[in-house]
Structure formats: structure tokens, C-alpha cells
């Protein structure tokens, strides 16, 4: 796009007086509305340069409207969209609106390459130049990579470096294709230098297609999707204060399955899943195959009892299992409880918290068992609820077992389940399940088989999130540094409990031993030995 001087008719000179009509005043008022103004402005006045259709009025698709609303409704927003879906167009329109209708705004566009920064700025300039003269803000400076308006606002564009934005008093920063800032350390240093600006009231918008699952964009995205309070209840905003928004390729009206098939053939499955399905490239060796993990989606609870999330209501005729992975309850590791239904192998409930005292953790388990029992009896008074529960007996588990004794097993609905005594084993019998390195690997192997063969149904979004960070480490598996795996640990204990019951229940045994398809090899072994 050719450079346009201040003398051009496309540029409104600074402080130029204009006599507005009644209709123009009404439209300006609608544009100035801080809630609905951006979309109204873009729909009514914004023009774009379509690659095949040329100049045309901007008519946003539903997902583009969601994107603009995400920009406007939240101080911090991070958006992940497929390639060529108009995210830059939406950003340029929103930035123009922001500069013109929020005076004294200092706006910085940061792109991973100079060409990217220039492209965004050219779209900003085009959007401005195509506006009706009466609605334009006057311009005091109009350069290739900056525009200054007579209302005190300024839009600047630059590449993302370690020092971008450092020391600047920014009102808004827009980071484009943030996942592709190279090297990755540069993005981390940039984010660190930007933090003081954001902490003093600045607004931040981040958009990108995904790349690695360990770059700075991925880190921000993951935290933004941890929309859970301390008990695991879903929220709108992530733990880092960001609102996360994602669009799928089929939300674009010009893209259908035929398009997807042709695109897969052209660029390959892996690249398609990254660029259009918006899946991160996972370089760590996760227990569950990364492709399978990408397809797993959680569901919202159907009900809650206290802080226990229920994904399905207990029904007569099924067996229910409750596993407790206890913690000290002092703010470190989380205590976690998983509830599964057999023989469906379906997760129906979950609880976790890291500041609940040990005795209360057992009380919560007691309440879960009672809820299962009472719910079943409400549906069928002749039913005999089958409930089994257990916990680890390692270290902290010993304290939890003592709390069970204090309460009295007779006061807890269901039957306490312990691992069988091994033949010829002389050691004194211990209640619960003892976890050794071998026990953990065996449980991981079976859990992987059940999940990847779609025999086990996982409903918890929080558990799926943990599984994405549950990776090979030495000759075992554990959470990545800074992440948690307590919900996974409770599932591994559940898997061991299922094995015990499978030896006694034909229906459980049949599903437990049935393998209908191959699974990916265990990362630490290179092959699956079952």
C-alpha cells in the first residue's frame, strides 16, 4: 500500500471543524458506546480489502464478532484462531475504534516480524482512510509505522523484542502471532519487561495460531484456560487474569469438509491440526497419546454438592468406586477424590483442594458415598447400592486411614477396598493400596489402555488439563514442573481398585480385558507390553 501524506483527502487534518447532522450525531453516540460501540462502528463504517473481491464493507462472521467482544469486554484476552480467518482485520478495526473513541490512548502493535508489524499497520491505515470524513479523528502525524491523532491517541507498530514496550506508558498492547516470536527466550523476556505496564492498568490483546506447547503463548493460553477456583469450579477468567477465546476452522462459512480434506492433502495432517484445528505441537512424551488428548473434551457438571462436581447422577444397577489421594492440606499438594461408575468405566464425580485438613478430606469422601447411596435409593427403594472406596496407605495415606478409623467404617456407606495379599507375602497386611514404582507404571499402562481404547470416559476438564502435563520422567511419569497431577494420581489408584473388582465381577472383567484396538507405545518403554 502506497504511503499517504497528510495533505491527502484520505487524511483528516487535525482540529478540523465539522458541522454534524442529527443522524451523524446519533451514529457517533452509538460508536462511543463503550459496550456495543466497537462492533457497531466496524459493521457500519469499516471497509476491508478482500484478496479476491477487492474493496468491500466489513461484515464480520459470528466468530469474528465474538473476537471483537473478547477484545472489548476483557482487560486481558488471548485468542487462538486458525490461519486466514480474519483475526488481523478484527484487530485493526478495533484498534482504530479504540484510538478514536478513547482519547489519550497509547497503543502498541507488536508482531513477531517486521513484515507482520507493517502489514497490520497498513490494515489500520486502510481502515482509517476508508472511513467517512465526518467520523475520522484528525491526524497530527501519519507515518508508515505510527499514527498520531489530535485527541492525544497514538498507534505504533514494531517487532517483538526483549525491550519492546519497556518504559512506555501504554494503554493497550496488541501482540500478533505471539507463538512464533523466535527464539522462545525473546518472547519470555518481552513478557517479563511488559509486566510493569500491564500491572499499572494497561490492556493486553494476544492473538496467534499455536506452535509449540512450551512457548510463551502456550504458557499464557494454558493459564487462561485454568478457569477454576480453588475448588475446581469453572470461571470465565483464567488464573492469570486472561480471557481465552478459540475458533474452529468450520466456523468460517467458506470452509467445509471438502475444503478440509483438500487442505489436509496439501499441507499434511500434523500441520493441518496445528494451523486449522489450533492444536499445540506437544514435544513432551505424555502418558496419553497427544492426538488422543487433543480430541478429549470435558463437560460441565450436572450438579454440585458442596465443592464436589458431579458429571452424572448415580443410578441403580451400577457399581460405584471412590478413590482418595490425600494431602497434608496446608496449601501445597492437592487432595483429590475421583468417582467412577462400573461397568461403564465412566467418571461421574470429582473433588480436589489443597487447603482442606486431613480429617475433612475423609469427611468429604464420607459425604460422597452417602450422596451416591441416597440418590440410588431415591430412584429405587429396593436397590442395594454397590459402593467401594479406598486410599493410598503410603506416608500421608496412613494418617488418612487413621481418620477412617476415627469415624468408624460402619459410619461410611460402602465397603473399604484393599489390595489383595500376595501369595507367600509375609509382611503384615495393610489396609488400602501401597504404591511403589512398579505399581505406578502398571497403573499407568492400564489407564492408558482404557483411555486410548475409549473404554474409560473422562468428563473433567481439570483432569484433562492435568493429563496434558503428565509426562514421562525417567522410568515413570509425573507432572511438568510447576503443574499438578493429583487428579491423575487419584485416577491411577482408581485403576488399581478396578483391577481388584474385575477379578470378581464378570461384567467388569469383560470390559477390563477387552482390547479392541492398538494403542500408542508407552514413551518410556518404546512399546506396549500390556
Question: What's the rounded mean pLDDT across residues 311-323?
Answer: 95
Task: List the grid coordinates of 126.
Answer: 486502510
Question: Is residue 195 within 8 Å of 188, Cβ to Cβ?
Answer: no
Q: What pLDDT band is residue 93 in, cutting at 50, 70 and 90?
A: very high
Question: Is residue 497 within 8 Å of 479, Cβ to Cβ?
Answer: no
Question: Is residue 347 within 8 Å of 457, Cβ to Cβ?
Answer: yes
Give the per-residue pLDDT at 333.
86
Query: For all residues of the chain together, what is the average pLDDT?
Result: 87
Pairing verdict, β 335-342 and 319-325 = antiparallel
Give the per-residue pLDDT at 529.
39
Question: What's the rounded mean pLDDT across residues 457-484?
Answer: 88
Question: Is residue 212 within 8 Å of 178, Cβ to Cβ?
Answer: no
Question: What's the rounded mean pLDDT across residues 98-116?
Answer: 91
Give the per-residue pLDDT at 1.
47
Question: What's the rounded mean pLDDT across residues 186-206?
Answer: 81
The three-state secondary structure class of 371 is helix
Output b/e per residue, 498-523; b: 16+ Cβ within 10 A: bbbbbeebeebeebbeeeeeebbebb
Question: Is residue 124 within 8 Å of 96, Cβ to Cβ?
Answer: yes
Each residue's pLDDT tens digit, 252-264: 999 999 999 999 9
Give the per-residue pLDDT at 294.
76
Q: Which residue has the higher pLDDT, 424 or 268?
A: 268
pLDDT of 69 > 80? The answer is yes
Q: Which residue has the higher pLDDT, 152 or 230?
A: 152
Quick one: which of 399, 492, 506, 409 has its CA closest to 451? 492
Domains of the chain and any CATH numbers: 22-251 (3.40.50.300), 303-513 (3.30.420.240)
Give the per-residue pLDDT at 527.
40
Spatial CB neighbours of 262, under 8 Å, sequence gap ≥ 6:
none
Handedness of CA 211, 212, 217, 220 (dihedral sign): positive
pLDDT of 291 > 80? The answer is no
Quick one: which of 121, 101, 142, 106 has its CA closest to 9? 142
Give the per-residue pLDDT at 528.
39
Residue 304: strand pairing partners: 309
Verify cis geometry, omega within 30 degrees of 0, for the bond prior to 132: no
Separation CA 87–CA 85 (nearest Å): 6
Give the per-residue pLDDT at 80.
92
pTM (predicted TM-score)? 0.65
Amino acid at each position: 500500500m502506497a504511503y499517504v501524506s497528510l495533505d491527502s483527502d484520505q487524511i483528516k487534518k487535525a482540529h478540523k471543524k465539522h458541522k454534524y447532522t442529527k443522524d451523524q450525531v446519533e451514529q457517533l453516540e452509538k460508536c462511543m458506546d463503550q459496550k456495543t460501540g466497537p462492533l457497531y462502528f466496524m459493521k457500519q463504517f469499516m471497509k476491508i480489502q478482500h484478496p479476491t473481491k477487492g474493496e468491500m464493507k466489513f461484515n464480520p462472521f459470528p466468530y469474528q464478532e465474538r473476537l471483537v467482544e473478547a477484545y472489548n469486554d476483557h482487560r486481558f484476552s488471548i485468542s487462538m484462531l486458525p490461519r486466514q480467518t480474519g483475526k488481523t482485520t478484527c484487530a485493526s478495526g478495533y484498534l482504530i475504534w479504540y484510538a478514536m473513541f478513547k482519547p489519550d490512548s497509547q497503543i502498541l502493535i507488536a508482531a513477531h516480524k517486521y513484515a507482520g508489524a507493517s502489514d497490520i499497520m497498513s490494515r489500520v491505515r486502510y481502515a482509517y482512510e476508508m472511513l467517512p470524513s465526518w467520523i475520522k479523528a484528525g491526524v497530527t502525524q501519519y507515518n508508515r509505522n505510527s499514527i498520531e491523532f489530535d485527541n492525544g491517541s497514538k498507534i505504533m507498530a514494531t517487532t517483538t523484542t526483549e525491550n519492546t514496550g519497556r518504559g512506555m506508558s501504554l494503554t493497550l498492547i496488541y501482540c500478533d502471532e505471539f507463538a512464533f516470536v523466535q527464539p522462545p527466550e525473546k518472547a519470555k523476556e518481552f513478557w517479563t519487561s511488559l509486566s510493569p505496564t500491564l500491572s499499572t492498568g494497561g490492556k493486553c490483546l494476544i492473538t496467534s495460531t499455536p506452535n509449540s506447547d512450551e512457548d510463551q503463548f502456550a504458557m499464557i493460553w494454558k493459564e487462561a484456560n485454568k478457569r477454576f477456583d480453588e475448588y475446581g469450579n469453572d470461571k470465565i477468567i483464567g488464573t492469570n487474569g486472561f480471557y481465552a477465546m478459540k475458533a474452529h476452522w468450520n466456523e468460517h462459512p467458506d470452509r467445509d469438509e471438502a475444503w478440509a480434506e483438500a487442505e489436509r492433502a496439501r499441507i499434511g495432517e500434523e500441520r493441518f491440526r496445528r494451523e486449522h484445528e489450533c492444536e499445540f505441537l506437544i514435544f513432551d512424551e505424555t502418558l496419553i497419546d497427544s492426538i488422543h488428548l487433543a480430541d478429549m473434551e470435558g463437560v460441565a457438571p450436572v450438579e454440585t454438592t458442596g465443592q464436589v462436581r458431579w458429571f452424572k447422577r448415580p443410578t441403580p444397577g451400577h457399581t460405584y468406586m471412590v478413590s482418595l489421594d490425600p494431602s497434608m492440606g496446608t496449601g501445597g499438594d492437592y487432595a483429590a477424590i475421583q468417582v467412577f461408575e462400573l461397568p461403564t468405566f465412566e467418571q461421574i464425580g470429582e473433588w480436589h483442594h489443597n487447603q482442606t485438613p486431613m480429617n475433612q478430606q475423609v469427611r468429604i469422601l464420607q459425604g460422597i458415598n452417602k450422596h451416591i447411596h441416597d440418590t440410588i435409593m431415591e430412584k429405587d427403594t429396593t436397590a442395594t447400592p454397590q459402593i467401594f472406596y479406598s486410599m493410598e496407605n503410603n506416608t500421608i495415606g496412613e494418617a488418612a486411614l487413621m481418620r477412617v478409623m476415627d469415624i468408624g467404617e460402619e459410619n461410611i456407606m460402602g465397603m473399604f477396598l484393599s489390595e489383595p495379599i500376595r501369595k507367600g507375602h509375609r509382611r503384615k497386611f495393610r489396609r488400602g493400596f501401597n504404591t511403589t514404582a512398579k505399581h505406578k507404571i502398571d497403573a499407568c499402562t492400564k489407564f492408558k489402555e482404557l483411555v486410548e481404547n475409549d473404554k474409560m470416559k473422562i468428563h473433567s476438564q481439570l483432569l484433562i488439563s492435568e493429563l496434558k502435563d503428565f509426562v514421562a520422567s525417567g522410568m515413570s511419569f509425573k507432572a511438568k514442573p510447576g503443574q499438578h497431577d493429583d487428579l491423575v494420581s487419584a485416577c491411577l489408584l482408581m485403576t488399581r481398585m478396578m483391577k481388584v473388582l474385575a477379578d470378581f465381577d464378570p461384567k467388569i472383567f469383560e470390559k477390563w480385558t477387552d482390547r479392541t484396538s492398538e494403542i500408542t507405545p508407552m514413551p518410556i518403554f518404546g512399546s506396549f507390553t500390556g
